[in-house]
Structure 1
């Protein structure tokens, strides 16, 4: 049984925008899948439908054999605590310490009142500290999150996701706002920790070269439709052109058609 199985997943927003048009995909334990596609292709919607941050219009999402769509609050909480999320904008609580932000990854395992009071187990504090050392931020433990650079904040986000002890990590454009040096550090950290801990990852990226460097499998999406699913070696230049330039070609064809008609009537 696949760790995650997605069947005919569709999402149509209230304004009529069809963000996903019947996506099928499987994620096996330990895979590092990168989803690529132009802006507006539906990559972020896909990730948010997997953990129900966005409610799909139809289809199935099975995580460890359990249907996530329509799950009640308690069951959804159990699903989400094993499905870590890393955000493009870091999504940290800036006014609190780096350590506390990582400990937020344990909230899904705590009662609501203990979480509200910040009554974390000593073992959780030790593990959060260890995770920060692991991502190279051992000396930043007690700093406020907003005192860190963007790359450092994203590594806090990785540590927070790891604190959940997840089976799967969803990473939504984790390096989109970072400089090249910080991007390398973040992607190396994310890839290596997933590999070492046996965690599967589905990661959205714009950068095709980065996707080819890290992915065990690449999925290409264009206008909410999956148009490629294969290994980095199978992602040819022609396929990249298909994923990213269909819209440009459609506009060019339309423009050529108009130009031809104008010449005919001249």
Structure 2
């Protein structure tokens, strides 16, 4: 499979002393569904946000399909981000806008800035947004305001917003952290199935080990800013889980 992303010696230091990430070396191939697990404060979100430069790494290289992310100009970074979908823990929707309008925001990176400013989306974009919402089970919510939705529905809108970018890579930052178990399954099914259907590589941060084992083709364990496990789900033993969540074992099965 084609290598889609490579992280070389990524380090992130906060306030000159606090280590967020330390010497991260990882590569990702097309079509992988990767879960990044570890206790709170381990560096999972920092890792994800360094990929699309929502956080600037202190040192190291991020290579996304042969493009250097860390030194990209504003124009280059805009193009790179148009190829990388992002799903946030707290949804990041515009409450007063409709579900359809929120999904269409995912097209802004592919549009002329003037058209984007005035929300002049093409009929094709609108049709594709509606198809995605129907595919993900939100037929009856298309024209509702985003603030009328449940948490699980909001997260599925976030998935559609990322999917309409037609990304090569999907980043999901704790997408089910604030959801109940049943809703979490709905959201993870939507994320996994659509990434598989569209051939999108996905990297998602998760607390819950069992969810990671159920969906991931590969699991990366992060502890204190370092990668301490990288392998298939069946290689993740109880001993490794105990080491990974040492002192915070309750988080692994929350």
Coarse TM-score class (shorter-chain normalised): over 0.9
**Which runs of 4 or more aligned residues in structure 1 lie more than 2 Å from their structure 2 counterparts after TM superposition?**
none
Q: Equivalent residue for 2:224?
A: 223
Number of residues of Structure 1 aligned to a counterpart in Structure 2: 248
Q: Equivalent residue for 1:190?
A: 191
Question: Aligned partners of 2:241 and 2:161: how far apart in 1?
Answer: 33
Question: Aligned partners of 1:8 and 1:211: how far apart in 2?
Answer: 25
Question: Aligned partners of 1:247 and 1:166: how far apart in 2?
Answer: 35
Q: Deviations over 1:236-263 (max 9, x none)?
A: 0011111110689xxxxxxxxxxxxxxx
Q: Secondary structure at the match of 1:26?
A: strand
1:1-266 → structure 2 map (5 Å cutoff): 1-14=2-15, 16-245=17-246
Which deviates further from its counterpart, 162-171 or 11-20? Answer: 11-20
Question: Aligned partners of 2:198 and 2:112: how far apart in 1?
Answer: 26
| TM-score where L is the length of structure 2 | 0.96
Question: Aligned partners of 1:52 and 1:154: how far apart in 2?
Answer: 22
Looking at CA atoms only, which structure, 1 or 2, has the larger radius of gyration?
A: 1
How far the C-alpha of 1:15 sits from its partner, in A, is 5.4
Q: Secondary structure at the match of 1:240?
A: helix
Q: Secondary structure at the match of 2:177?
A: coil
Question: Aligned partners of 2:210 and 2:110: how far apart in 1?
Answer: 37
Structure 2 unmatched ranges of 5 or more: 250-254
Question: Aligned partners of 2:47 and 2:10: how far apart in 1?
Answer: 8
How far the C-alpha of 1:16 sits from its partner, in A, is 2.2
Question: Aligned partners of 1:113 and 1:44: how far apart in 2?
Answer: 33
- Superposition CA RMSD, Å: 1.1
Q: Deviations over 1:101-159 (max 9, x none)?
A: 00000000112221111100111000001110011001111100000000000000000
Which deviates further from its counterpart, 10-19 or 97-106? Answer: 10-19
Question: Aligned partners of 1:192 and 1:107: how far apart in 2?
Answer: 24
Give yes or no for contact 2:39–2:248 (8 Å, CA) kept in 1: no
Give yes or no for contact 2:34–2:216 (8 Å, CA) kept in 1: yes
